[in-house]
Structure 1
Amino acid sequence: MTGPAPRTIAEHRSAVLARTAPLGAVEVPVEHCAQTPGLVLARDVAAAAAVPAFDNSAMDGYAVRLADLPADGSEVTLPVVADVRPGPPPDVADPASDVVGMKSTGVDGSGTVNSIPTTPAGAVRIMTGAALPAGFDAVVPVERTSTGRFVAGGPTAERTVTLARQPRDHVRRAATDLRPGDLLARAGTTAGPGLVAAAAAAGLTTLAVHRRPRVAVISTGSELADLGTAAPGTIPDSNSLMLAALARDLGADVVRVGAVPDHPDALRAALDDVTDTARPADLVVTSGGVSAGASDVVREVLASGAADDVELAAVAMRPGRPQAVATWRGVPWIAVPGNPVSAFVSFTLFVRPALRRLAGHEGTTPVRTGRAATGWTSPPGVEQVLPVTTGPDGVTPAARDGHHLAALPRADALVIVPAAVEKVVAGDPVAIVALDGESR
């Protein structure tokens, strides 16, 4: 293994992504997608049924035959011969229904309900979403008739209605939204609320999605202590909590190992525990121990030859210069620095894209261009990664010193300043990586 190779943020991200691939497909109920945000389609999704499934009323009103209405828009009075509500026919769903004039009903090949008895001319009281009776081809909204309005829950009272031809028919025709076989979404699309609704409406009961990534989070350092147990010379293990929360926010299943001491055998054992099991991790993320100090246990284990495909890197960025990527028992391993801000930045720039790839997302983390609301200096020769807050005038550093932990609760984005830029002036364009859930 050679020493750290200097590289850019983009080069190290490429090295990380080269070790990951989308996880296999699993068939899950549509309801599961509604309850588990962030699942990504493994295959294209096509409609199984027509939407709407049958011709139905787009308004509360009266179904009519246009042939019964004068073409010049003159009003005509028609008998009200039936009452159609949404849902199955009353003789199937509710024998005690007050629906008037309906006999045995069904959905015929044209997608309309049949068997409404009528006089030579007649109107059918109909509610929004109810199937249009066979032979009827338009709906007149109730507010444009002599009835004026319906009383919620009230039975049919009117025996006649005065109405006129309307410019629109107010009918949702069968299959005008979706036909069987129509594409709903491509593979790589997140199974969000809109897709869940369309899939359910189009007759699908399951979707093929990529399996959720299983991530093991380990922090290293003999100085780390569990919360509430800190003693002199120790600090709380905040990193594993932060990294676990970030991974869960991306939809991953997380195994948080917590802190292991600066001893190679302890780290090896922790890595074995999360990779050599019935349900091994799909990705291991460690924080700390990757620099050049005498106690940097990650670097020691990587140098021992126990891991495969090891790359130690000195990424020309601040914060987060020391980085590493390797494979442990066939599982990708991303090692980030132990400083909390460095770990946070490294997760966003390197771990987040890896998790997106595992989950089946296409492309990398979106980067947009914004403006600096104020000015600041940037260290020469490295890409500065600065936690910022966004406002109407642009972005502002979240703390006076971007390396301070106090910046993280305030930040809603990261700004990446090119290595050649040593001073950012208010109004300058800046590259922004959002931290909100929508972008992740």
Structure 2
Amino acid sequence: MLAGGRPLAVRVVELAAALGHTLAEPLVALTDLPAFDTSAMDGWAVAGPGPWHEVGRVLAGERAGPLADGTAVVIATGAQLPPGATGVLRREHGRLDRGLLRGSALVPGQDVRPRGQECRRAEELLPAGRVVTPAVLGLAAAAGHDRLSVHRRPTVELLVLGDELLDCGPPRPGLVRDALGPLLPPWLAAAGAELIARRHVRDEFGLLRDAVRRSPADLVVTTGGTAAGPVDFLHRALAAAGARLLVDGVAVRPGHPMLLAELPDGRHLVGLPGNPLAAVAGAVTLALPLLAALSGRPAPAHRIEPVGVALPGHPSDTRLLPVVRTGGGVAPLAFDGPAMLRGLALAEALAVVPPGGLPVGGRVELLDVP
């Protein structure tokens, strides 16, 4: 886990409000599921071997009395099975003949969902750390929950730095479109973040210093300004804010000027390079793992897969390379320069290529592309 990356506070919230949060406790069944024997089909609940005398009906939400041997009741899917019933005869398999219900022979328990088939009361259904998806909400409701214990979602402010960035229209002489402003927020949200603001900050030291100091977010993510250029003020701004650098450059291409800092009040800042693919490298290796830790989620999974086409490497640094899967293993994509996103848009993963590259038949670690 990253330094300082401890899960945020636990809160108990209504089911609908839990969506997108992370379970702080295991999800435990408050009831058997199903809570009682139910019919899996429309038809008749029958007792004993046929033929049977039809004596009534039971619908979903109703509770029927016991069935005597040789009798049947019309039953709807999901209705509680009457005591004494031996099974359910499907509607298409039965027929009424002079007051008697006749049908094919039944196996005991046929077309019945027995009590506890899915789970038993007090059984753990999901572990802590699971993201609350719509399916998790449905399972929690079925298991009897009205509220869930979840970790607070970490708040994030995205500061997009640079006087050269445009918010709309095609690039113009000296000006380029901001690609990271649209790209990063969905990734951050998918990692558990609550994005509270996305702001463009001009290349002025005082503006950046104040933006870092005054941000209320648990995590500040910046794009650009991490290197040593004439208007790269992020290091100075962090020093002015009393921040402690935890990561200050890495031996990875693209993305080597990325940084991670801890502010005096315990908040964090991830500085991403301004080049789009370099920023992506910093996002998947620093920002997203930190957000997972703050959200109480497991660290993003890494996989090892075979190399189908030789993966070119950097002479001395690790390289993150957009790749796709082929029948013979992963293969590199073109347009993989630090300022390019075309390869990433086609990529299924980022390959972690050691210095010098990897030959066909080797094995490579893959990072998911959110």
Q: Letter of the aligned partner of 2:341 in structure 1?
A: L
Q: 1:173 to 1:314 in 2, by over 3 A?
A: closer
> Is there any run of 5+ residues in structure 1 with no aligned partner, and where?
1-13, 70-75, 90-105, 107-112, 148-156, 276-280
Alpha-carbon distance between aligned partners in 2 of 1:400 and 1:326, rounded to the nearest angstrom: 31
What is aligned with 2:363?
Answer: 429
What is aligned with 1:234?
Answer: 175
What is aligned with 1:288?
Answer: 224
2:38–2:114 CA contact under 8 A, matched in 1 = yes
Q: Which of 57, 74, 84 is the matching residue for 1:83?
A: 57
2:306–2:362 CA contact under 8 A, matched in 1 = yes
What is aligned with 2:205?
Answer: 264
What is aligned with 2:274?
Answer: 338
1:19 counterpart SS class: coil
Alpha-carbon distance between aligned partners in 2 of 1:338 and 1:174, rounded to the nearest angstrom: 58
Alignment of 1:296-307 (within 5 A): 296-302=232-238, 304-307=239-242
Deviation at 1:361, TM superposition (A): 0.3
Deviation at 1:243, TM superposition (A): 2.1
Q: Does 1:31 align with 2:13?
A: no
Q: TM-score, normalised by structure 2?
A: 0.89
1:322 counterpart SS class: coil
Deviation at 1:231, TM superposition (A): 5.5
Moved more, 348-357 or 48-57: 48-57
Q: 1:159 to 1:315 in 2, by over 3 A?
A: same
> Is there any run of 5+ residues in structure 2 with no aligned partner, and where?
none
Alpha-carbon distance between aligned partners in 2 of 1:312 and 1:361, rounded to the nearest angstrom: 22
Query: Deviations 1:385-433 (Å, cap 9, x if unpaired)?
Result: 11122233322222154433322222221000123xx133233221111
1:225–1:259 CA contact under 8 A, matched in 2 = no
2:22 counterpart SS class: coil
Percent identity over paired residues: 32
2:22–2:150 CA contact under 8 A, matched in 1 = yes
Q: 1:162 to 1:386 in 2, by over 3 A?
A: same
What is aligned with 1:219?
Answer: 160
Deviation at 1:158, TM superposition (A): 7.3
1:315 counterpart SS class: coil
Q: Which of 114, 124, 142 is the matching residue for 1:183?
A: 124
2:213–2:241 CA contact under 8 A, matched in 1 = no
Q: 1:321 to 1:121 in 2, by over 3 A?
A: closer
Runs of 4+ in 1 over 6 A off after TM superposition: none
Q: Does 1:122 align with 2:63?
A: no
Larger radius of gyration: 1
Alpha-carbon distance between aligned partners in 2 of 1:131 and 1:158, rounded to the nearest angstrom: 28
Q: TM-score, normalised by structure 1?
A: 0.76
Q: Does 1:348 align with 2:289?
A: no
Q: Letter of the aligned partner of 1:344 in structure 2?
A: V
Q: 1:181 to 1:23 in 2, by over 3 A?
A: same
Alpha-carbon distance between aligned partners in 2 of 1:357 and 1:44, rounded to the nearest angstrom: 17
Query: Deviations 1:28-70 (Å, cap 9, x if unpaired)?
Result: 222344xx3x42101122112222222222333322222xx2x
Question: Between Structure 1 and Structure 2, how many residues are aligned?
Answer: 367
1:63–1:125 CA contact under 8 A, matched in 2 = yes
Deviation at 1:131, TM superposition (A): 1.4
What is aligned with 1:10?
Answer: none
Alpha-carbon distance between aligned partners in 2 of 1:165 and 1:359, rounded to the nearest angstrom: 55
Alpha-carbon distance between aligned partners in 1 of 2:303 and 2:225, rounded to the nearest angstrom: 33
Higher relative contact order (CA 8 A, sep 6+): 1
Alpha-carbon distance between aligned partners in 1 of 2:142 and 2:336, rounded to the nearest angstrom: 52
Alignment of 1:28-427 (within 5 A): 28-33=13-18, 36=19, 38-66=20-48, 69=49, 76-86=50-60, 88-89=61-62, 106=63, 113-114=64-65, 121-147=70-96, 159-163=99-103, 165-170=105-110, 171-228=112-169, 232-275=173-216, 281-302=217-238, 304-311=239-246, 313-328=248-263, 329-362=265-298, 364-403=299-338, 404-419=340-355, 422-427=356-361
2:161–2:202 CA contact under 8 A, matched in 1 = yes
Q: 1:50 to 1:224 in 2, by over 3 A?
A: same
Report the aligned-residue RMSD: 2.5
Q: Letter of the aligned partner of 2:33 in structure 1?
A: V
1:220–1:297 CA contact under 8 A, matched in 2 = no
